[in-house]
Amino acid sequence: MTGFVEVAVLASTILFVLTWTFVVLVAPHLRWRATISPMRRISIARAWLYAPFWVPLALLAGSLSLGLVADPLGDHCLKHAHWHHLCWVHPPQPTNHAIVWLLPTAILIPALGSLARVLRDVSREGRLAKDLVWVSSPCGLGPDIRLIDQEKPIALTIGWRTPHILLSSGLVQHISSHAFQTVLAHERAHISRGDIPLALIDRFTASLLPRSVANPLLEHISLGREMACDVAAANKVGGPIVVARALTEVAALGMKPVATGLSLVGSTLELRVTYLLQPATKEWGWCVPATILAAVVAAGAGPVHTVVETLITFLLQS
């Protein structure tokens, strides 16, 4: 193993641990405004959920760029010859220290265990989804819509490879035609947005965080997803008031979320109705995310670079 690979592996591991710890300590205390737009809510929640991955990569890119930029000007590595510096230009000599593979392994093993548990749950839910499709029947409204002979009101989208919309006979019989069209438009919006595979990726990522941290973030992603589909449905069926009425009509039937798929009542209805009637007037462009990313990269090229080199030197010389 070359010296550069050693410090790169250790740097990635250290940055992952530091970012993971920061997310665990800070994310539970975030304050969310009720009127925040769906895409902004989803973007913020996913930025925190995936932070242990994208933040270390951005910091590492900034740290490595420092040597490339500084070398023509007289590289700083020459002033810190005793350090195991993180630099393309002046990589350190390999140490073959056991900590280089022990530290990543200590993190990887429990992470794989968490991912395996989620995979088991997803497989079980996949079998349930197949059973639901098997016992359902076509209803003449499209190849993606199937009817379940069930008095309990059900409306959900299942299947990450071949999505289907499942509606129960109890729901179809007890809601108005406007509400029925709204339900179809909402569920079809889930399919067109690719929400099911994205939700699956979110679940795998969330398994690497404590539940007390991951669950609120997943709930905000779910709420933003449902709000976005409500807006899409409003554009199809005649406006937000029609969708708001449909949501309250469906809620009055006592519909409950199902153990698989994306359900129409998967998030707080009060917040969704409030947003439909008082939508946000302004969305973020690319400016804010790009500025945040640039700031993280700059931090990697600045103070984080020195901190990581100091920690690597301490670990390899201890």
- Tens digit of pLDDT for each residue in 79-110? 555 556 777 776 677 777 888 889 999 999 99
Average pLDDT over residues 76-81: 57
Asked whether 233 and 186 are in contact (CB, 8 A), the reply is yes
What's the number of CA atoms in the CB half-sphere (13 Å) around residue 222? 18
Q: CA-CA distance, 261 to 187, in Å (whole number)? A: 11
Q: Is the pTM of this model over 0.75?
A: yes
The token pair that represents 292 in the structure block: 């945040």
3-state DSSP assignment of residue 96: coil
Higher pLDDT, 85 or 220: 220
- Distance, first Cα to last Cα, the chain: 19
pLDDT of 265: 60
For β-strands 262-263 and 164-168, DSSP reports them as unpaired
> Strand order in 164-168's β-sheet?
137-138, 145-148, 164-168, 155-158, 262-263
Residue 260's closest CA among 139, 123, 138, 119?
A: 123
pLDDT exceeds 50 at position 71 = no
The chain-wide mean pLDDT, for the chain, equals 85
- For residue 182, what is the DSSP state? H
Q: Which residues contact 104 (CB under 8 A, 6 or more apart)?
A: 9, 12, 13
For β-strands 155-158 and 164-168, DSSP reports them as antiparallel
pLDDT exceeds 60 at position 78 = no
pLDDT exceeds 70 at position 251 = yes
Q: CA-CA distance, 223 to 217, in Å (whole number)? A: 10
Average pLDDT over residues 251-275: 71
Q: CA-CA distance, 51 to 32, in Å (whole number)? A: 18
The residue whose two tokens read 């029925």 is 180
pLDDT of 282: 67
The token pair that represents 83 in the structure block: 């350090």
Average pLDDT over residues 138-147: 84
Q: Give ∠ CA 309-206-258 in degrees, rounded to 5.
A: 175
pLDDT of 196: 92
Asked whether 17 and 108 are in contact (CB, 8 A), the reply is no
Q: CA-CA distance, 126 to 142, in Å (whole number)? A: 22
Residue 274's closest CA among 235, 247, 238, 236?
A: 247
What whole-number percentage of the chain has pLDDT above 90? Answer: 42
